[in-house]
Amino acid sequence: MRWSGLGALALAGQLLAAASPAMAQAEDASPAPKPTQIPLTSESGRPDLYLQMPYYLGGFEPDIVMTRREEHFANLDADDQTRQEWESLLEEVGADVSNMVSGYALVSQEGFFSFVVAIRVEGVTPGTLLPAYLPILYEDLDDPQSVVGRMGGKDVTVITSIGSDDEYVEFYVYDEGDTIWMLQGPSDVVEVTLANLPDPLSVEE
Protein backbone atom coordinates (compact mmCIF):
# COMPACT_ATOMS: atom_id res chain seq x y z
CA MET A 1 0.00 0.00 0.00
CA ARG A 2 1.43 3.36 -0.97
CA TRP A 3 2.11 5.66 1.98
CA SER A 4 1.25 9.29 1.38
CA GLY A 5 2.36 12.12 3.67
CA LEU A 6 -0.41 14.38 2.40
CA GLY A 7 -3.00 11.67 2.76
CA ALA A 8 -1.73 10.89 6.24
CA LEU A 9 -1.91 14.55 7.20
CA ALA A 10 -5.57 14.65 6.19
CA LEU A 11 -6.14 11.43 8.13
CA ALA A 12 -4.43 12.91 11.19
CA GLY A 13 -6.87 15.79 11.15
CA GLN A 14 -9.80 13.38 10.95
CA LEU A 15 -8.44 11.27 13.81
CA LEU A 16 -7.80 14.28 16.02
CA ALA A 17 -11.32 15.51 15.42
CA ALA A 18 -12.71 12.08 16.25
CA ALA A 19 -10.47 11.72 19.30
CA SER A 20 -11.25 15.07 20.84
CA PRO A 21 -12.66 18.35 19.58
CA ALA A 22 -10.21 20.17 21.80
CA MET A 23 -7.24 18.28 20.36
CA ALA A 24 -8.30 19.26 16.86
CA GLN A 25 -8.00 22.89 17.92
CA ALA A 26 -4.51 23.23 19.32
CA GLU A 27 -5.24 26.60 20.89
CA ASP A 28 -7.81 24.95 23.15
CA ALA A 29 -5.52 22.11 24.23
CA SER A 30 -2.80 21.99 26.84
CA PRO A 31 0.78 22.44 25.58
CA ALA A 32 3.27 19.82 26.63
CA PRO A 33 3.88 20.40 30.33
CA LYS A 34 7.20 21.51 31.74
CA PRO A 35 9.08 18.78 33.66
CA THR A 36 7.97 20.19 37.01
CA GLN A 37 4.33 20.12 35.85
CA ILE A 38 4.18 16.49 34.75
CA PRO A 39 1.86 14.41 36.95
CA LEU A 40 3.96 11.29 37.55
CA THR A 41 0.99 9.04 38.19
CA SER A 42 -2.72 8.99 37.48
CA GLU A 43 -5.41 8.45 40.09
CA SER A 44 -5.07 4.70 39.55
CA GLY A 45 -1.37 4.84 40.38
CA ARG A 46 -0.24 4.10 36.81
CA PRO A 47 2.20 6.40 34.98
CA ASP A 48 0.50 9.47 33.57
CA LEU A 49 -0.39 9.19 29.87
CA TYR A 50 2.05 11.98 28.98
CA LEU A 51 4.94 9.87 30.28
CA GLN A 52 3.87 6.99 28.02
CA MET A 53 3.69 9.06 24.83
CA PRO A 54 6.55 8.36 22.38
CA TYR A 55 9.41 10.81 22.78
CA TYR A 56 10.82 9.88 19.37
CA LEU A 57 9.21 8.94 16.07
CA GLY A 58 11.62 7.91 13.35
CA GLY A 59 14.47 9.63 15.21
CA PHE A 60 12.59 12.94 15.46
CA GLU A 61 11.24 14.50 18.65
CA PRO A 62 7.48 14.92 18.14
CA ASP A 63 5.32 17.81 19.20
CA ILE A 64 3.19 16.50 22.07
CA VAL A 65 -0.14 18.05 23.04
CA MET A 66 -2.29 16.83 25.92
CA THR A 67 -5.95 17.44 26.74
CA ARG A 68 -7.33 16.72 30.20
CA ARG A 69 -10.77 16.35 31.75
CA GLU A 70 -13.14 19.25 30.98
CA GLU A 71 -10.73 20.66 28.36
CA HIS A 72 -12.19 18.08 25.96
CA PHE A 73 -15.42 20.05 25.84
CA ALA A 74 -13.86 23.50 25.80
CA ASN A 75 -15.97 25.98 23.82
CA LEU A 76 -18.57 23.32 22.95
CA ASP A 77 -22.22 24.01 23.69
CA ALA A 78 -24.28 21.36 25.45
CA ASP A 79 -26.19 20.63 22.23
CA ASP A 80 -23.03 20.18 20.11
CA GLN A 81 -23.25 16.83 18.31
CA THR A 82 -19.64 15.84 18.94
CA ARG A 83 -19.95 16.63 22.62
CA GLN A 84 -23.17 14.62 22.85
CA GLU A 85 -21.52 11.63 21.14
CA TRP A 86 -18.67 11.70 23.64
CA GLU A 87 -20.96 12.15 26.61
CA SER A 88 -22.96 9.12 25.42
CA LEU A 89 -19.75 7.10 24.99
CA LEU A 90 -18.53 8.00 28.47
CA GLU A 91 -21.90 7.12 29.96
CA GLU A 92 -21.86 3.79 28.11
CA VAL A 93 -18.52 2.82 29.67
CA GLY A 94 -19.49 4.11 33.11
CA ALA A 95 -17.30 7.21 33.18
CA ASP A 96 -17.45 10.95 32.69
CA VAL A 97 -15.13 13.56 31.21
CA SER A 98 -13.26 13.95 34.51
CA ASN A 99 -11.87 10.43 33.89
CA MET A 100 -10.57 11.29 30.41
CA VAL A 101 -7.12 12.33 29.22
CA SER A 102 -5.91 12.30 25.61
CA GLY A 103 -2.90 13.40 23.65
CA TYR A 104 -1.08 13.27 20.38
CA ALA A 105 2.54 13.12 19.28
CA LEU A 106 3.18 14.46 15.79
CA VAL A 107 6.19 14.73 13.49
CA SER A 108 5.75 16.48 10.16
CA GLN A 109 9.03 16.87 8.29
CA GLU A 110 9.84 17.01 4.61
CA GLY A 111 9.82 13.39 3.52
CA PHE A 112 8.63 12.07 6.89
CA PHE A 113 5.28 12.11 8.66
CA SER A 114 4.11 10.14 11.67
CA PHE A 115 1.68 10.56 14.53
CA VAL A 116 0.35 8.81 17.61
CA VAL A 117 -3.06 9.63 19.12
CA ALA A 118 -3.99 8.27 22.57
CA ILE A 119 -7.29 8.36 24.45
CA ARG A 120 -7.45 7.13 28.05
CA VAL A 121 -10.56 6.82 30.21
CA GLU A 122 -9.52 5.87 33.73
CA GLY A 123 -11.49 3.20 35.53
CA VAL A 124 -13.31 1.60 32.60
CA THR A 125 -13.49 -2.16 32.29
CA PRO A 126 -10.74 -3.26 29.88
CA GLY A 127 -12.20 -4.14 26.50
CA THR A 128 -15.22 -1.81 26.70
CA LEU A 129 -13.70 1.45 25.46
CA LEU A 130 -12.67 0.54 21.91
CA PRO A 131 -16.03 -1.01 20.85
CA ALA A 132 -17.81 2.09 22.14
CA TYR A 133 -15.37 4.38 20.32
CA LEU A 134 -15.20 2.70 16.91
CA PRO A 135 -18.59 4.02 15.67
CA ILE A 136 -17.42 7.60 16.37
CA LEU A 137 -14.11 6.92 14.63
CA TYR A 138 -15.62 5.28 11.55
CA GLU A 139 -18.15 8.09 11.16
CA ASP A 140 -15.29 10.56 10.64
CA LEU A 141 -13.41 8.40 8.10
CA ASP A 142 -13.98 7.98 4.38
CA ASP A 143 -14.70 4.37 3.35
CA PRO A 144 -12.94 2.75 6.35
CA GLN A 145 -11.85 -0.89 6.08
CA SER A 146 -10.29 -2.92 8.89
CA VAL A 147 -8.42 -6.16 9.50
CA VAL A 148 -6.87 -7.54 12.68
CA GLY A 149 -3.18 -8.32 12.89
CA ARG A 150 -0.13 -8.24 15.12
CA MET A 151 2.78 -5.79 15.11
CA GLY A 152 5.45 -4.88 17.62
CA GLY A 153 4.26 -7.64 19.91
CA LYS A 154 0.77 -6.13 20.14
CA ASP A 155 -2.61 -7.19 18.76
CA VAL A 156 -3.78 -4.38 16.49
CA THR A 157 -6.58 -3.44 14.15
CA VAL A 158 -5.29 -2.08 10.84
CA ILE A 159 -7.71 0.49 9.44
CA THR A 160 -7.49 1.96 5.95
CA SER A 161 -9.26 5.10 4.84
CA ILE A 162 -9.23 7.39 1.83
CA GLY A 163 -6.94 10.37 2.34
CA SER A 164 -6.16 13.26 0.05
CA ASP A 165 -5.92 12.65 -3.72
CA ASP A 166 -8.16 9.59 -3.24
CA GLU A 167 -5.20 7.59 -1.92
CA TYR A 168 -5.73 4.93 0.73
CA VAL A 169 -3.71 5.47 3.88
CA GLU A 170 -3.57 3.13 6.82
CA PHE A 171 -3.16 3.41 10.56
CA TYR A 172 -2.97 1.00 13.46
CA VAL A 173 -5.25 0.85 16.49
CA TYR A 174 -4.02 -0.81 19.69
CA ASP A 175 -6.40 -1.39 22.59
CA GLU A 176 -4.49 -1.21 25.89
CA GLY A 177 -7.70 -1.70 27.85
CA ASP A 178 -8.56 1.74 29.16
CA THR A 179 -6.46 3.47 26.49
CA ILE A 180 -6.86 3.51 22.71
CA TRP A 181 -3.65 4.12 20.75
CA MET A 182 -3.80 5.10 17.07
CA LEU A 183 -0.55 5.17 15.10
CA GLN A 184 0.38 6.16 11.56
CA GLY A 185 3.69 6.33 9.72
CA PRO A 186 6.27 4.07 8.07
CA SER A 187 5.79 0.48 9.20
CA ASP A 188 9.18 0.23 10.91
CA VAL A 189 8.43 3.35 12.98
CA VAL A 190 4.98 2.05 13.92
CA GLU A 191 6.44 -1.33 14.88
CA VAL A 192 9.08 0.18 17.19
CA THR A 193 6.52 2.53 18.74
CA LEU A 194 4.04 -0.27 19.38
CA ALA A 195 6.75 -2.41 20.97
CA ASN A 196 7.40 0.36 23.49
CA LEU A 197 3.77 0.98 24.44
CA PRO A 198 2.41 -0.54 27.68
CA ASP A 199 1.14 -4.12 27.65
CA PRO A 200 -2.65 -4.53 27.66
CA LEU A 201 -4.46 -4.46 30.97
CA SER A 202 -6.01 -7.70 32.13
CA VAL A 203 -9.71 -7.84 32.83
CA GLU A 204 -8.95 -8.36 36.52
CA GLU A 205 -7.25 -4.92 36.70
State pLDDT tens for residues 32-78: 444 445 555 566 678 899 999 999 999 999 999 888 888 888 877 88
Confidence at residue 111, expressed as pLDDT on a 0 to 100 scale: 87
pLDDT beyond 50 at 184: yes
Confidence at residue 25, expressed as pLDDT on a 0 to 100 scale: 45
Q: Tell me the per-residue pLDDT of 159-180, one tens digit each, with 9 for 90 and over.
A: 988 765 666 778 899 999 999 9
Q: Tell me the per-residue pLDDT of 107-140, one tens digit each, with 9 for 90 and over.
A: 988 889 899 999 999 999 998 999 999 888 888 7
Look at 2 and 190; give whichever has higher pLDDT: 190
Rounded to whole angstroms, the Cα distance separating 53 from 99 reads: 18
Confidence at residue 197, expressed as pLDDT on a 0 to 100 scale: 96
Q: Tell me the per-residue pLDDT of 72-98, one tens digit each, with 9 for 90 and over.
A: 888 778 888 888 888 999 999 999 999
pLDDT beyond 90 at 27: no
User: Nearest to residue 75, comparing CAs of 136, 130, 31, 26?
Assistant: 26
Confidence at residue 150, expressed as pLDDT on a 0 to 100 scale: 96
User: Nearest to residue 28, comparing CAs of 76, 62, 95, 86?
Assistant: 76
Look at 163 and 186; give whichever has higher pLDDT: 186
Q: Give one DSSP letter per residue of 18-59, joined into a string.
A: HH-TTTTSGGGSEEPPPGGG--SB-TTSSBPHHHHS-S-BTT
Using pLDDT thresholds of 50, 70 and 90, give the confidence band for residue 29. Answer: very low
Q: How far is CA 68 from CA 95, 118, 132, 145, in A?
A: 14, 12, 20, 30
Rounded to whole angstroms, the Cα distance separating 59 from 178 reads: 28
Rounded to whole angstroms, the Cα distance separating 100 from 44 reads: 13
Helix (H, G, I), strand (E, B) or coil at 61: coil
Rounded to whole angstroms, the Cα distance separating 158 from 82 reads: 24
